[in-house]
Structure 1
Amino acid sequence: MAAAEGRMIIVVDGGGSTTACAAFTGTHEHGRTELPSCKPAAGDTRTDELCRYLGSWLVTTHLNIASSDILLVGMSGVWSQEERRSYTEDLDLSWSRYVGDTVPRITVVSDIELVQLAALNGRPGVVLVAGTGAIALGIARDGRQIRVGGWGPRIDDAGSGFWMGRKALRAVAWMLDGRGPSTLLIRPVAAFLMADPADVPTLQNKLRTTSIDRCARLAHAVFAYAAEGDAVAMHIRGEAARELARLITTVCSDTSDIPPDIVLYGSLWRDEPFYRIVHGLVSDQVHGASLQTMTDVLASTAEAMLTAS
């Protein structure tokens, strides 16, 4: 997967909410874009969709697509060897159909393994990704991987943006029922549902019927109202912090062969108070823990690949 300095690399970070892409020659960035999520769904790798987006974007960059040497895709929802094989085969066909006849060398990894490459570049340590979903990956000194979380929103993703969004929706439903305390989260929840918070019957109906697939966007509303002192929002924020800290402590307790060098990546870490809460919890439970955040996985990946060449 090492990249020669003079060849073009396209890096794709496919998350549950967005897909970030950038093209590099060495560490020189030609351009980048943010596309809708193309995370695979049941029975559909969605590589056609991804390559239609990529093809349209690459045309605007005026790059020589035929000179692309490597296409590195870190995709949420792709983990097992069979999933990688199937995704790679579909991506190869989709590229030739929607982007160009010359298909670059394709490498497919999970999204957290892309972050691991960018953040640690082969070194042992721990990566925690927390955005729409949540997953931790530990790399031991002997190369073993210890994965915790990443089970998806239907059964887990505790502490993630989706998990917090669902908690906010439930808190408002319980408030309307009289089962839970009053919360100002009714305002962002009503906006998410495109309803008037004062129109209770409409709000109740929309809570019952509207898809919650995109409720991860409510996480930052939880942070905002927690900062204003809303008790329900503060409780949700605290629960999320404890769940994410538990992912890290579980990885670190699995074996003593993982150094406590911990890299945090994902949209939730943009909230400084939330980061401080998680930092405090982990520092109290993991001896010698060193936490840092990473903001640009695309550029860091290109640099790591060049270093390895």
Structure 2
Amino acid sequence: MERTILAVDAGGTTCRGRLVAPDGAVLASGEGGACNPSTDLAGAIAVLDALINVLCRQTTPQTQRGSVVLSLGVAGLVDVNRRAAFLAAHEGFAEIVSMSDGYAALVGASGGQPARLIILGTGAAGHRLFADGTSIQRDGWGFLGGDRGSGAWLGRRAVEAALKSFDGAAPESLLSERLVARLGGREAAILDWLLQARPRDFAALVPEIVAAAEAGDDAAATLLEAAADEATALVSSLGDGRGGKSVSGESDGEPLYLLGGLSVLLRTRIERRLGRHLDVPQGCALDGCVHVARGKAPQERRR
């Protein structure tokens, strides 16, 4: 007999939840704040616990944890100790199923069938599900080591270029002028911003890049093209799962999906580079969590 599922898509910017009845009806839904155990374990635990309580209280009678399968798609569960601490903090459920948020998005988009997915948001990662139920992830290294082509990647490079102009080591551009003003316009204010900035703060600068590019700024346009290059390389890195590369982006006819906050901005550029249209996702990460909990998609097993 199928049970009620509490599906959660927990990422570094927002945390979304959905309570789903055995017949598939949505009983409750809601959102919370950032939930990434790798960057803030205590904060992630608190955000998820608050969201769980809100969702359970929306039903009449109030849903009890003991009758619910908690299915989690969570960023930052690679470290074994953090993973164990995060999951142990949410007791009382009939069962807990966990996976990366990217994998949840992949199986949500494909309905659990073999496919590839590129996610371009604050961070960036590529995922592929194979016919044997195993999967791979490429990039997703985080702000300091990768996330190439992401919002944080774009924002950081725009800031670097702007400060190079601020120092007189490069010509000024519309983008550099906008960003220097955005960061405070003076050395002390800029340094203060840099000392406190997190990946989402750099990603929040993307609208400035877009506005400058639309106004004809070459530096801004070059950055957007570079992000599309990185996304295309990420598609290629998914290859055949054995180290092979796929130049065209075609891979045994498998669907290729693009999700994330930068997907609309970069879709056409990426499609032009791949020479193909990207596929329309069937669902989202919350659907993926439900599919895995119901056994309609394999649990995450990395190659």
Into which bin does the TM-score normalised by the smaller protein fall?
A: 0.7 to 0.9
The alignment status of 1:276 with 2:268, answered yes or no, reads yes
Which stretches in structure 2 are left out of the alignment for 5+ residues? 298-303
In 1, Cα distance between equivalents of 2:26 and 2:73: 18
Contact 2:11–2:75 (CA under 8 A) maintained in structure 1? yes
Q: Which structure shows the higher helix fraction?
A: 1
Tell me which amino acid in the other structure corresponds to 2:19: A
**Which among 148, 164, 172 is matched to residue 174 of structure 1?**
164
Q: Say which SS state the counterpart of residue 155 (structure 1) adopts.
A: coil
Quote how far apart the aligned CAs of 1:118 are: 0.6
Equivalent position of 1:90 in the other structure: 89
Q: Say which SS state the counterpart of residue 239 (structure 2) adopts.
A: helix
In 2, Cα distance between equivalents of 1:143 and 1:212: 35
Q: What does the per-residue CA deviation read over 1:29-84, in whole Å, with 9 as the maximum and x for residues that have no partner?
A: 23322211110136836453134421452266245221652211111111366654
**Which among 257, 261, 276 is matched to residue 263 of structure 1?**
257
Equivalent position of 1:12 in the other structure: 8
Tell me which amino acid in the other structure corresponds to 1:19: C
In 2, Cα distance between equivalents of 1:181 and 1:56: 54
In 1, Cα distance between equivalents of 2:52 and 2:106: 27
Contact 1:140–1:259 (CA under 8 A) maintained in structure 2? no
The alignment status of 1:211 with 2:197, answered yes or no, reads yes
In 2, Cα distance between equivalents of 1:276 and 1:61: 41
Alignment RMSD (CA, Å): 3.1
The alignment status of 1:239 with 2:226, answered yes or no, reads yes
Poorly superposed stretches of 4+, deviation over 6 Å: none
Counterparts in 2 of 1:262 and 1:222: CA distance versus 1, 3 Å: same
Counterparts in 2 of 1:241 and 1:114: CA distance versus 1, 3 Å: same
In 1, Cα distance between equivalents of 2:58 and 2:40: 32
Counterparts in 2 of 1:190 and 1:174: CA distance versus 1, 3 Å: closer
Map 1:1-309 → 2, pairs under 5 A: 4=2, 7-25=3-21, 26-41=23-38, 44=41, 46-58=43-55, 61-63=58-60, 64-66=62-64, 68-79=67-78, 84-92=83-91, 102-186=92-176, 189=179, 193=183, 195=184, 199-206=185-192, 208-213=194-199, 214-252=201-239, 254-255=243-244, 259-271=253-265, 274-283=266-275, 291-294=278-281, 297-298=284-285, 300-301=287-288, 304=291, 308=296
In 1, Cα distance between equivalents of 2:41 and 2:130: 33
In 2, Cα distance between equivalents of 1:141 and 1:56: 37
Quote how far apart the aligned CAs of 1:297 are: 1.4
Equivalent position of 2:301 in the other structure: none
Q: What does the per-residue CA deviation read over 1:145-191, in whole Å, with 9 as the maximum and x for residues that have no partner?
A: 23211111111111111111111211211111122232333465357
Tell me which amino acid in the other structure corresponds to 2:233: R
In 2, Cα distance between equivalents of 1:163 and 1:105: 37
Quote how far apart the aligned CAs of 1:220 are: 3.2
Counterparts in 2 of 1:27 and 1:183: CA distance versus 1, 3 Å: farther
Counterparts in 2 of 1:217 and 1:32: CA distance versus 1, 3 Å: farther
In 1, Cα distance between equivalents of 2:234 and 2:55: 38
In 2, Cα distance between equivalents of 1:206 and 1:179: 22
Quote how far apart the aligned CAs of 1:296 are: 5.4
- When normalised by structure 1's length, the TM-score is 0.79
Which stretches in structure 1 are left out of the alignment for 5+ residues? 93-101, 284-288
